[in-house]
Copies of this chain bind each other. A is one copy, B any other.
Amino acid sequence: MNGRSAMRLARLQDALAGGGTIHLSEAAKLCGVSEMTIRRDVAASDGAMTFLGGHLMMAANPQFAPVYDLDEQQGSHYLAKQRLCQGAASFITEGDTLFIDCGTTLMPLLGMLGEFEELTVVTYALNVANAVGALPNVRLVLLGGLYHPSSQSFGSGDMYDAVRRLGINKAFISAAGVDLERGVSCFHFHEVAPKQAALDTALYRILVVDASKLGVVRPAFFAQLEAFDVVVTDAKAAPVLNARAGGTHQPPRVMVA
């Protein structure tokens, strides 16, 4: 790679830094060279940019990452998630202020928000914010802080208070583990504060988990099962969750989606 090639790559990379794509033909015009030269530049570079059907884009951008890979057989999981979210969505009513947790479980829910006139979504996850930010009918409140790439979410010391200051109708919480005795847990400790704040603030608390999380314990506990009003889950997990009874608190209603 020579100097001019590097210059062109830098120019293109900067053009794409803010997101977006650029067609090969326009990249060529922009740099004043032939399309072939652009192809060669990109091919000889460090792989920061790639072509997708004649359009140049940042390779690292998670927006372009395939959402669904059959080889990893998330396929069966996906259908379940979509059905879970349909069940969860049935709790939403016009004008609600929703807290939406991080992770991938609740992603299908966001696609269902477009059918309402006006909603407000509170979240601390970047992927949720990007999806919601594109919806014209949904107001978005993002709780900021230090970014944690592992969960695509933000954490900060005053996250708890920040959530408490908001008027949240319904909290949609996901979890990495649900144990009847030990409680509900997730992977990352910075997720605990926002989840607990949402549970303490929201009028209605909805846990969305599939059967694969049942009996699993993860590093960070954030609540007992009784802290939720409803658990939206699948047919496989429902009987186990319903067996829970006779505690000091009212057990959550189990909804099979």
Q: Which residues in chain A, 119-163, are within 8 Å of chain B measured between CB atoms?
A: 124, 126-131, 133-134, 136, 139-147, 149, 152, 154, 162
B133 near A126 with CB under 8 A, answer yes
- Most chain B beta carbons < 10 A, residue from A18, A53, A154: A18
A149 proximity list for chain B (CB < 8 A) = 133, 136
Rounded to whole angstroms, the CA-CA distance of A26 and B61 in the bound complex is 20
A40 contacts partner chain B, Cβ-Cβ < 8 Å: no
A112 proximity list for chain B (CB < 8 A) = 14
A104 contacts partner chain B, Cβ-Cβ < 8 Å: yes
- A129 contacts which of B53, B69, B126, B140 (Cβ < 8 Å)? B126
Rounded to whole angstroms, the CA-CA distance of A237 and B136 in the bound complex is 38
A110 proximity list for chain B (CB < 8 A) = 17-18
A240 contacts partner chain B, Cβ-Cβ < 8 Å: no
A242 contacts partner chain B, Cβ-Cβ < 8 Å: no
Rounded to whole angstroms, the CA-CA distance of A20 and B14 in the bound complex is 21
- Most chain B beta carbons < 10 A, residue from A141, A144, A162: A144
Q: Closest CB-CB distance, A203 to chain B, in whole Å?
A: 21
A29 near B75 with CB under 8 A, answer yes
* Chain A contact patch, size range: 35 or more
- A70 contacts which of B14, B21, B26, B52 (Cβ < 8 Å)? B26
A63 contacts partner chain B, Cβ-Cβ < 8 Å: yes
Q: Closest CB-CB distance, A64 to chain B, in whole Å?
A: 6
A10 contacts partner chain B, Cβ-Cβ < 8 Å: yes
- Most chain B beta carbons < 10 A, residue from A10, A13, A19: A19
A33 contacts partner chain B, Cβ-Cβ < 8 Å: no
A54 proximity list for chain B (CB < 8 A) = 53
